[in-house]
Amino acid sequence: MQNTFDIFQEVYDVIVNRKENPKEGSYTNYLFSKGLDKILKKVGEEASEVIIGAKNENKDEIQYEIADLVYHLMVLMVHQGLTWEDISKELEKRSSPK
């Protein structure tokens, strides 16, 4: 199995590429073309679907919905100019003992 972070970075890089080099028929480009409100709407919808999947205690459903949520969060990251390094730095701050 591929390194988890490598997969996250590869998907992120595809999203960046779609923003910089739009591809006809691309769902990612559709989100970028509709703007921040549409991206945020999808993040909210996917977060709700994660909650429903968890409530149903269906591991396959939760896995699928979390992947959807992470993808839409990555679209939001790219839209807002954030990188995995930015997120990692923030998480690192939270993991340091106080």
Per-residue confidence (pLDDT) for residue 43, from 0 to 100: 98
Q: Specify the fold of 4-87.
A: Helix Hairpins (1.10.287)
Distance CA 18, CA 78 (A): 10
Distance, CA of 95 to CA of 80 (rounded, Å): 24
Query: pLDDT band for position 1 (50/70/90)?
Result: confident
Tokens of 56: 């149903």
pLDDT per residue as tens digits for the range 46-62: 999 999 999 999 999 99
The structural domains of the chain, with segments of one domain joined by +, span 4-87
Whole-structure pTM value:
0.92
Q: How many other C-beta atoms are found inside a 10 Å radius of the C-beta of residue 65?
A: 21
